[in-house]
């Protein structure tokens, strides 16, 4: 098995189908949204497939390390082909190719993932929490925009430069989110779930062209066994504007928008060591739902 820089259209479709089967079996997405975007993109992600009789039975995605950030890997195995060493081989290949410090994500930190980590001598080094709250009770606080602040929604590509500037500054130490480019924004703008009225931007009235922070919301469509659910997709605050309550203000604006869409609940992801964000979200009624762990080799 060798990593490649691009999958064929047929392979990408087969991997997507495999991911869907794993999601249905496990009750949690086995890989991130970015992995699915990369299947047909031309980024620097590397792809590895495990096959049996020409059928893809496992897949590994590897984002090479850059700067101070180590390589990141995500792995999924088709449910009928688990417990046959496929996952172990894919993870071992990702660790070898990614080099020292490579992280391997376990979404949902399921029992099988914990057992695999133990067999390979991996230890958890990063925790990503999924929090949720209903959009009925407890009632959302009133939205009050402080004097001197301007809150509006996304107007299109003309807002992208400022959005990307703030995103890069806000997530300078975040190995995935902080690398967004115009292509990443355009890709998400083309998604069926995108709604410009669900992207909130905050400015100082004295400098209305310089973005202070943003909140991008998302709606996950209903499935056969799950109702539609909203997401606090990205909240980014310019470090120079910290301390003005923008995180809470922008989050609340998005929550009210999702509530007005008729959604019953909302989710978000936050780093387990981000105490400030956890405090803000806790005050807004969010509670821990599940956890993703990143593991590293010895």
Q: Which residues are annotated as a binding site?
A: 33, 75-77, 83-88, 176, 218, 231, 235-237, 242-248, 269, 274-279
Euclidean distance between CA atoms 2 and 31, whole angstroms: 20
Q: Where does the chain have alpha helices with state H?
A: 9-26, 33-38, 86-98, 111-120, 160-170, 182-189, 246-260, 275-283
Spatial contact of 248 and 284, defined as CB atoms under 8 Å apart: yes
Euclidean distance between CA atoms 99 and 20, whole angstroms: 29
Taking the CA atoms of 207, 209, 215 and 221 in sequence, report the sign of the dihedral they define.
positive
Tokens matching residue 134: 């209903």
How many CB atoms neighbour CB 276 within 10 A? 10
User: Where do we find the tokens 């060493």?
Assistant: 85
Q: 3-class DSSP state for residue 19? A: helix
Tokens matching residue 189: 């703008």
User: Where do we find the tokens 């019953």?
Assistant: 264
Strands 103-106 and 265-271: unpaired
List residues forming the annotated binding site for acetyl-CoA: 75-77, 83-88, 235-237, 242-248, 274-279
| Cross-strand pairs, 49 | 59
User: Where do we find the tokens 């922070």?
Assistant: 213
Euclidean distance between CA atoms 130 and 232, whole angstroms: 11
| Eight-state DSSP code of residue 174 | -
């Amino acid at each position: 098995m060798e990593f490649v820089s691009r999958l064929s259209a047929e392979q990408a479709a087969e991997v997507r189908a495999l991911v869907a089967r794993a999601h249905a079996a496990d009750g949690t997405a086995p890989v991130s949204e970015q992995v699915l975007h990369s299947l047909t993109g031309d980024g620097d992600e590397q792809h590895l497939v495990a096959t049996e009789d020409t059928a893809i039975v496992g897949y590994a995605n590897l984002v090479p390390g850059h700067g101070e950030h180590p390589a990141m890997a995500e792995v999924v195995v088709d449910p009928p082909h688990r417990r046959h060493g496929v996952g172990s081989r894919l993870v071992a290949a990702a660790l070898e190719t990614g080099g020292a410090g490579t992280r391997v994500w376990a979404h949902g930190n399921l029992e099988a993932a914990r057992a695999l980590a133990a067999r390979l001598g991996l230890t958890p080094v990063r925790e990503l929490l999924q929090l949720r709250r209903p959009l009925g009770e407890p009632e959302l606080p009133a939205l009050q925009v402080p004097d001197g602040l301007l809150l509006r929604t996304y107007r299109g590509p003309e807002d992208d430069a400022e959005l990307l500037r703030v995103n890069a500054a806000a997530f300078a130490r975040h190995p995935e989110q902080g690398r967004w480019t115009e292509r990443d924004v355009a890709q998400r703008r083309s998604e069926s779930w995108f709604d410009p009225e669900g992207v909130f931007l905050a400015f100082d009235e004295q400098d209305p062209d310089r973005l202070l922070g943003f909140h991008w919301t998302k709606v996950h469509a209903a499935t056969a066994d799950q109702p539609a659910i909203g997401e606090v997709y990205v909240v980014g605050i310019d470090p120079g504007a910290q301390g003005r309550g923008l995180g809470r203000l922008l989050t609340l604006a998005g929550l009210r928008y999702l509530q007005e869409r008729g959604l019953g609940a909302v989710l978000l992801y936050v780093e387990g060591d981000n105490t400030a964000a956890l405090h803000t979200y806790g005050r807004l009624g969010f509670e821990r739902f599940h956890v993703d762990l990143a593991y590293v080799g010895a």
